[in-house]
Amino acid sequence: MRRLWLIGALVLLIGPVVTWSRFLEHHDIRRRASPIDAAQPTFAAYWRFLDEARRFVPEGSSYTINAANGDEETQLFMISAGLFGGVRPYPATFVWAPQPGGGREAKYVLVYGSAGCPSDATMMRLVKGGSICIRGER
C-alpha cells in the first residue's frame, strides 16, 4: 500500500511538469511588475497603470478613475483600493453602478486607456496605460 501511495505521488508530479513546460514556452523567469502578470494579463495591465499613477497622487488628496466602460472602471477601482490608501476615492463607477457626480469631486483623474483628459482637468502626466489629469485646487 505504501508503494502505491508513493507511485501515485510521483504520477501527480507529471501535472506540474507539463504546466511548467507550457509556461516556459511562452514566459521567461524574471521579476514581475504586478502580482498577477501571468495569471490575469488584463488585471495586470490595470495594476501597472495604477501602481505607476500612485507615485504622482499625493497622500491626503482625492482621485477618480475614468475608463472605456463601467466594467473596467469597477475593476480598476477595486484594485486601486489596495494601492491608494490615504487618498480619498470618488469612483465614477462603483460595483458596475455609475455614481452620482461621476467622480467630479476628485482632484486627480486617472484615465485608463487614453491619453486624454476630461474637459475640466488638465494633463499632468502620461503613464503607461493612460494619463493622470489634475483639476484646479478646491
Interface with other proteins (CB under 8 A), residue from 70, 89, 102, 118: 89
Nearest distance from C-beta of residue 60 to other proteins, angstroms: 13
Stretch that binds other proteins, among 31-39, 105-113, 114-122, 123-131 (CB under 8 A): 31-39
The reply on whether position 138 binds other proteins by CB under 8 A is no
Residue type, 73: E
Q: Which is nearer to other proteins, 42 or 122 (CB)?
A: 42
Residue 112 CB coordination number (10 Å): 21
Question: Which are the contacts of 34, defined by CB distance < 8 A and separation ≥ 6?
Answer: 43, 44, 47, 48, 51
Q: Cell numbers at residue 88, please?
A: 480619498
Stretch that binds other proteins, among 15-23, 62-70, 114-122, 127-135 (CB under 8 A): 15-23
Exposure string for 29-56, b = 16+ CB within 10 A, e = fewer: eeeeebeebeeeeebbbbbbbbbbbbee
The reply on whether position 47 binds other proteins by CB under 8 A is yes
The reply on whether position 36 binds other proteins by CB under 8 A is yes
First-residue to last-residue Cα distance in the chain = 74
- Enumerate binding residues for other proteins (CB under 8 A): 1-6, 8-16, 19-20, 23, 27, 29, 32, 34-40, 43-44, 47, 75, 77-79, 81-82, 85-86, 89, 91, 94
